[in-house]
Each structure stands twice: as C-alpha cells, then as structure tokens.
Homo-oligomer: A and B are copies of this chain.
Amino acid sequence: MKKINIGLFGFGCVGQGLYETLNNSKNFAGEIKKICIKNAEKSRSLPRRLFTIDKEEIIRDPEIDVIVELIDDANAALEIVTSSLKNGKSVVTANKKMVAENLEFLVKLQNETGKAILYEGAVCGSIPIIRTLEEYFGHEPLDEVKGIFNGSTNYILTKVFNENLDYDEALRQAQSLGFAESDPTLDVKGFDAKYKLSILLTHAFGIYVKPESIVNLGIDHLKNTDLEYAREKGFKVKLIAQARRIDDKVFAFVAPQFIGHNDSLSSIDNEFNAVSLTGDFCDEQLFIGKGAGSLPTGAAVLSDISALSYDYKYEYKKFYNLGQLPFSNESLLKVYVSFNSPQEIDLSDFESIHDKYFSFDHSYVVGNICISRLLEKKWLNNPNNNVVLCENSRQLQLGNLCVASLNTEIEDLKKGQVLLEKITV
C-alpha cells in the first residue's frame, strides 16, 4: 500500500478528530502534510510549520495525494473540492450541505477528472452507510431508507421523553454539553437531516434530488401539550428522515413522527443515529452508531482516506441500474397538527380530516395532507402551529393528485367555532 500525503482544510472538531485517529491507527500509511486554516492567529495544538492560510499551497503541492476538506462554509468547500479534483487530487469531505446541493455536478466532475470524492463522514458519522449501500446493496432493490440522522435533535428529544423536560430546557442542556450548536437552526428545523437524506437518495435509489425539493419539518414548534399528547398515547416523538419507493416513484421527507415503543427506532437515544434499510431480499436491516463527534466522524474520514489508497471510488450503482426513478411529492401523509386558533391554519390544504379536538389550551386536527402542500409551508411557518406525522411508513398512502375535499365540518372550523369535542371518523 502506497503512503498517502494528506492536505487538510480546516482544523476544527472533525479535523482534530482525524488527526487523533490517524495517529492512533496501527500501520496506516499516511500523514497530514499541511493544514489550511482561516485564522492564522489562533493558537494551535500542533507545530506552526504544519499550518498555512494559502489554499493554493496545498492544492498545487505535487507531493500531496489526497485533499481532506473539513470546513463549515459550503461554498468555500465546493471551490476547494472542485479545484482539487481538477488538479488531479482525490478528495474526502464531510460537508453534507455542499455534497447534497452539488452531488450531480460532483459525479460529473469525478467522471471528467477520473478522480474520486468520498464522503462517508457527511452522513451519520461513524455508521458506514454509503459504502454499505454501494457495495452491499448495489444490486438489491430497496423499498425504504429511514432513520434518525441528527444527533442534536435526538439528544433533545431523549431528554424530553426520558426525563420529562420541556423542549426549551432540553435544548439548553444540549447546548451546554456541546450536543447542539449555539445557533441550532439547521438541526432543529431538520435541514441537517435533509442534506443527509438527499445524499442517501442517490446511493439508495439512484436519483439526484436537490434539498430544496424535500420537505423538512422541525421539532422547534413542539409545545408541551404536544408532548403530553404523545405521552398519553404511549408514543415518543423522534425526528425521522424517510424515503420510500412506491410503484417505482420515490417519496422523501424529514419530519417529527410519533413512534411507538415497539418501533425499532424508539430505543435509539441521545446522540446516537440509526439507519434502517428495507430491501426485497434482506428484509429490514438496522445500523446504529454515534452520528457525530470528533472521533466517530474522524474515523469515518480516515476510512475514506484508506479506501482511496486502493483507488476506491463510488460507482453510483443504483443510478446506472435503476434508470432514474421519478421523485415525487404527490403523496398523502397522515399528520397531527396542533394550533392555537383554527384561523391560523388552512384546513382546505387537507385531503381529509379524521380527528378534531378543541380546548382552551390544546387544539389539533388529524388528517391527510399532501407532501407538496407541506413543502409550500405557508401556515406551517407560524410557530403556533406544529406538525407531527402520525403514521409510520408502512401506512404511507399514495395519492396521485391532492385535492382538498372540503366538507361542512371543516367549514364549521373555519368559522372559528371552538368545540370541546373529539370526533374520530
């Protein structure tokens, strides 16, 4: 095995994790030759000669074989990756946003340059899901990919359900322990999970779907009354990313879901992630591991560098084998929607309503709504309104066309009547 000289961009949490795993791996024939950082003044744990602020010094160094890109900024990351591949260097990255938003372009660039880009660390940290999809399920028709893809929100929801905390207190605890960012928007609104889902859609179903085409509902509108509702019914709430193939169309979404205690995802707690695959032959497979953190993600990056040493590249087998299945948002989901006042949601967006409940401190409807309506957001952006999916994937209903069927009951609601009742149709 040839020795690999690594040029590293970024020396934050994952970069330092990579450095540590690399130094503690037996017989790994590689070393970090240079590290490009943004801030030259910041004090570093390694000798000064290892660092540079000039990216060209790394990209144009003929002795450097592999570029490892571990910075936050997705646009800058794309520039580094593009210019590295064009300079004949293979790349390892953990930047999920950059990969998700540019995957079709990055695949073309790999084909043009003959160089590889690997990004196992971008999806669910230490869980080897991309490699497994490529190598092991490359020929198996998959029906579903589903899981808990974000550790911060899972930590928050675990605190909420296992320790009976309210959402704000759980978020504060997660932040103080470093499990959530000081600006938690990308996590709690489901963007982070959506980027990962978008990447897996390519490796599991062979399609490119831009993140903007996938609906992401977050957990930041969860109210205490929603939590009580879930507890009463014997559910937990988990933020689930899900993709399914139905009649050779692919549907995908990120949303909080009520999860029963028998569900295999119910016991995945704290910062752990889980990915469940359901295939025609293998039935359900579940992969559980730490989804984030310095060492788990560093180890995923290291395993990609190691794979480059024997010229491994993703073959995007599903893309070539399945012939571009269409992606669609025209399917119905059964959702629970809580609100302060019926005027704040547009019930004509629903295909049908199953349950209605109104009281002074907790009002909700349960009904079927089309994914494409959820994507438009509209009243969903109102923090008084919260959506939780009711059904797990097995009952996902396929609708070819979404037409809200208004009936008199809904008309009554729209007039603002507050009824202390619960109707189940």
Judge if A139 is at the interface, Cβ distance under 8 Å: yes
Residues of B within 8 A of A24 (CB): 141, 280-281
Residues from chain B with a CB closer than 8 A to the CB of A279 are 299
Task: Write the nearest CB–CB distance from A207 to chain B, whole angstroms.
Answer: 14
CB of A396 within 8 Å of the partner chain: no
* Stoichiometry, copies per complex: 2
Decide: B139 and A306 in contact? CB cutoff 8 A: yes
A279-330, CB < 8 A from B = 279-290, 295-296, 298-299, 302-303, 306-307, 320-322
CB distance from A287 to the nearest CB of B (A): 6
Q: How far is the CB of A390 from chain B (nearest CB, A)?
A: 23
A88 in the interface (beta carbon within 8 A) = no
The answer to whether residues A303 and B28 also contact, given A21-B281, A286-B288, A289-B285 and a CB cut-off of 8 A, is no
The reply to whether B295 and A282 contact each other, CB–CB distance below 8 Å, is: yes
| Minimum Cβ distance to chain B for residue A204 (Å) | 13
Instruction: Say whether B321 contacts A298, CB under 8 Å.
Output: no
Chain B contacts of A182 at CB under 8 A? none
Which residue in chain B gives the minimum CB-CB distance to A127? B285
* Chain B residues closer than 8 Å to A132, beta-carbon distance: 128, 131-132
Question: What 0/1 pattern do residues 34 to 60 of A give for CB contact below 8 A with B?
Answer: 000000000000000000000000000
**Contact check: which of B283, B321, B322 meets A126 at CB < 8 Å?**
B283
Task: Let me know if B136 and A131 touch, CB within 8 A.
Answer: yes
* Contact B285 A286, beta carbon cutoff 8 Å: no
| CB < 8 Å neighbour of A307 from B21, B135, B299, B303 | B135
In the complex, which residues of chain B have a beta carbon less than 8 angstroms from the beta carbon of A283? 126, 289-290, 295-296
The answer for the CA separation of A137 and B131 in the assembled complex, in Å, is 12
Tell me whether A303 and B135 are in contact in the complex, defined as CB-CB below 8 angstroms, given that A126-B281, A126-B285, A288-B285 are known contacts.
Answer: yes
Chain A interface mostly helix, strand, loop or mixed? mixed
Residue pair B264, A281 in contact (C-beta under 8 Å): no
Chain B residues with Cβ below 8 Å from A288 are 264, 284-288
User: Interface digits, A15-37 against B, CB 8 Å rule (1 contact, 0 not)?
Assistant: 00100010011111000000000
A interface residues, how many (CB within 8 angstroms) = 44
Alpha-carbon distance between A247 and B307 when the two chains are bound, in angstroms: 29
Interface centre among A284, A288, A307 (most CB of B within 10 A): A288
- Interchain nearest-CB distance for A422 vs B (Å): 33
A303: nearest chain-B partner, CB-CB: B136
Q: Does chain B have a CB within 8 A of A405?
A: no
Q: Which of A112-152 contact B (CB under 8 A)?
A: 126-128, 131-132, 135-141
Contact status B141-A282, CB under 8 Å: no
Q: A128-B132, A267-B267 are in contact. Are A140 and B285 (CB under 8 A)?
A: no
Binary interface encoding of chain A residues 144-182 relative to chain B, with 1 for a CB under 8 A from any of its CBs, else 0: 000000000000000000000000000000000000000
CA distance A135 to B302 in the complex (A): 11
Task: Determine the chain B residues whose CB is within 8 A of the CB of A299 once the complex forms.
Answer: 140, 279, 281-282
Contacts of A126 in B (CB 8 A): 281-283, 285
Query: Which A residues between 331 and 354 are near B, CB-CB below 8 angstroms?
Result: none
Given the known interface contacts A26-B141, A320-B27, the answer about A282 and B296 at a Cβ–Cβ threshold of 8 Å is yes
18 A/B residue pairs, CB under 8 Å, sorted by A: A24-B141, A25-B140, A26-B141, A126-B281, A126-B285, A128-B135, A131-B132, A140-B299, A280-B295, A282-B296, A283-B290, A283-B295, A283-B296, A284-B288, A284-B290, A286-B288, A287-B287, A288-B288
**A residues at B contact (CB < 8 Å):** 17, 21, 24-28, 126-128, 131-132, 135-141, 264, 267, 279-290, 295-296, 298-299, 302-303, 306-307, 320-322
